[in-house]
Amino acid sequence: MLLAEQAATCTACGLAETRTNVVFGDGSVRAQVMFVGEGPGRNEDLQGLPFVGAAGQLLNRLLSEIGLQRSDTYITNVVKCRPPGNRDPRPDEITACKDFLSGQIRLIDPVVVVTLGNFATKLLLREERGITRLRGRAYPWWNRTVIPTFHPAAALRGSASVLASMQEDFALVKATLDGRVEPPSESEAEHPAVQLGLFG
């Protein structure tokens, strides 16, 4: 069965009980850049598409500033079903859902994975440190590059400096895609994704 079809009927965690739609992902299968958010919000749950609300508008704007369109990218979330009331996804829910993300990364095969906020960043980088510490640089990750940045919702709530930091991080995405930054390398055994089991 197709991965998206599996997700559409998934009941592997409790979020299945309260969702309207599974929000699997959206964008180009040829995307060189993939965004990973936290989880669907209300609008996303109703439409079945990621980042269609205010946070999505800001994401579109940040993309246009580096000359990309949303349709050039692939966008998904750590959990594919909306946590009720927009609460944080729980560790058991993230664990139940992570094989879908792993499969999406393998299938889309992006050059750059941009993790939006703490949940995606901690999951991929196996990090305890928060996004404020981790953002601002590129990380070697399974022959790809992970670039962590703030969640767009944080920029909407927060100060202008959060937005400015996101603009810096998006410039790094652009530079990495343009090949102006050498792709980092790392031995497979040391790779966080191996230890996490994210790739089997």
Which residues are at the interface with ligand SF4 (CB under 6 A)? 7, 10-13, 15-16, 22, 79-81, 93, 96-97
* 10, interface contact from ligand SF4, ligand URA, none, CB < 5-8 Å by kind: ligand SF4
Indicate the residue among 78 and 173 with the shorter CB distance to ligand URA: 78
Tokens 């999406």, located at residue: 104
* Least Cβ distance, residue 60 to ligand SF4 (angstroms): 25
Indicate the residue among 30 and 42 with the shorter CB distance to ligand SF4: 42
Cα distances (angstroms) measured from residue 98 to each of 66, 110, 200: 29, 17, 11
Residues 170, 177 contacting (CB under 8 angstroms):
no
How many residues bind ligand URA (CB under 6 A)? The answer is 11
* Least Cβ distance, residue 78 to ligand URA (angstroms): 8
Question: Of these, 7, 26, 31, 37, which contacts ligand URA (CB under 6 A)?
Answer: 37
Instruction: Identify the three-state secondary structure at position 162.
Output: helix
Structure tokens at 90: 């729980």
* 22, interface contact from ligand SF4, ligand URA, none, CB < 5-8 Å by kind: ligand SF4
Helix (H) or strand (E) holding 99: helix 91-108
Structure tokens at 102: 């792993």
Amino acid 81 reads C
Closest-CA residue to 111 (of 26, 33, 178, 30): 33
User: What mask of x and - would describe binding to ligand URA in positions 54 to 73, judged by CB under 6 A?
Assistant: -x------------------
* Least Cβ distance, residue 21 to ligand SF4 (angstroms): 10
Is the four-CA dihedral 152, 65, 75, 200 of positive or negative sign?
A: negative
Q: Does 38 bind ligand URA (CB under 6 A)?
A: yes
Neighbour tally for 188: CB within 10 Å: 10
Q: Does 40 bind ligand URA (CB under 6 A)?
A: yes
Q: Does 39 bind ligand URA (CB under 6 A)?
A: yes
Across 28-92, the runs of DSSP E, i.e. the strands, are 33-37, 74-77
Residues of the shown chain interacting with ligand URA in the complex, contacts defined by CB under 6 A: 37-41, 44, 50-51, 55, 77, 153
